[in-house]
């Protein structure tokens, strides 16, 4: 495979992976206050995502692939809120183990990685255009 | 008449690393050795790949409008089609200018 085309494909897989990460982050942020539907039940559990290199045998390059979305098994913080429908007998509610600040940092990192991959795509496209430009009469 | 153009095409690495086009160029050379009108075959092949990619881009764009395809896939397909079209136009310009050059030749 043409190296420039391969570079374009790799950057494309990077864009895909980072958009998946952003999806997980948005799920966590949106559900950062989601409590259980039943009294004393578990609230929304934070989701995590990890990435792995994946060999594309046809092109002979390492693409990036998002691994399966996992769960964060850390403790749920407890709040005293007797009016909540998810409160247990003593009036305590389990809140999701989502730290919005952590999610924000993760989102920023996903954003930066996405931008870096976009830059690669742009660069490759410019190089290919310039190479084709060679054939044009000046 | 074909030799300088083929040589120029072989000088550009991105053309020769693409297996399909490299084989097309080799077939041009062998056919040119046989004296057949094979440069037209190469042009036809370039045109076919261009049309294929344009069709793919069109399908991706429609998918994007309908929400089936993500913006990344649409952008990738459209960019690939654009590149193919640019190559086709550049090759066509070169061919036309080559014919003009020949027509201006003093006899």
pLDDT tens digit string along A24-40?
Answer: 999 999 999 999 888 88
Q: Do B90 and A132 touch (CB under 8 A)?
A: yes
The pTM assigned to this predicted structure is 0.73
In this structure, is the dihedral angle defined by the CA atoms of residues A128, A134, A137 and B2, taken in order, positive or negative?
negative
Q: Do A132 and B97 touch (CB under 8 A)?
A: no
Least confident span in A106-110, B28-32, B58-62, B97-101: B28-32
C-alpha span between B67 and A108 (Å, rounded): 26
* Beta strand spans in B8-91 (E): none
The torsion angles phi and psi of A47, rounded to 5 degrees, stand at -100, 145
Query: How far away is chain B from the Cα of A131, in angstroms, using its nearest Cα?
Result: 9
C-alpha span between B86 and A79 (Å, rounded): 63
- Mean pLDDT for chain B? 75
Highest mean pLDDT among A66-70, A83-87, A115-119, B75-79: A115-119
**Distances A17 to A22, A121, B64, B103 between C-alpha atoms, Å:** 9, 15, 19, 55
C-alpha span between A84 and A37 (Å, rounded): 10
Q: Which A residues in the span 4-43 are in contact with B, Cβ-Cβ below 8 Å?
A: 4, 8, 12, 15-16, 19
Chain A residue whose CA is closest to B97:
A137
């Amino acid at each position: 495979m043409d190296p420039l085309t391969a570079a374009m494909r790799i950057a494309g897989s990077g864009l895909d992976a980072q958009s998946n990460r952003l999806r997980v982050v948005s799920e966590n942020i949106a559900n950062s206050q989601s409590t259980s539907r039943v009294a004393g039940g578990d609230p929304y559990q934070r989701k995590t995502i990890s990435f792995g290199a994946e060999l594309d045998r046809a092109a002979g390059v390492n693409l990036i692939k998002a691994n399966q979305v996992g769960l964060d098994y850390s403790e749920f913080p407890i709040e005293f809120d007797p009016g909540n429908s998810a409160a247990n007998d003593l009036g305590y509610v389990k809140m999701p183990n989502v730290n919005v600040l952590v999610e924000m940092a993760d989102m920023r990192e996903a954003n930066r990685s996405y931008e870096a991959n976009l830059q690669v795509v742009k660069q490759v496209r410019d190089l290919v255009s310039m190479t084709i430009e060679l054939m044009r009469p000046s | 008449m074909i030799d300088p153009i083929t040589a120029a095409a072989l000088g550009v690495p991105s053309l020769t690393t693409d297996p399909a086009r490299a084989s097309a160029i080799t077939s041009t050379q062998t056919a040119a050795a046989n004296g057949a009108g094979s440069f037209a075959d190469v042009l036809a092949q370039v045109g076919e790949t261009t049309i294929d990619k344009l069709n793919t881009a069109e399908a991706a764009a429609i998918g994007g409008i309908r929400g089936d395809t993500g913006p990344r896939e649409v952008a990738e397909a459209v960019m690939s089609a654009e590149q193919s079209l640019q190559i086709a136009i550049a090759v066509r310009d070169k061919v036309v200018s080559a014919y003009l050059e020949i027509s201006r030749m003093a006899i």
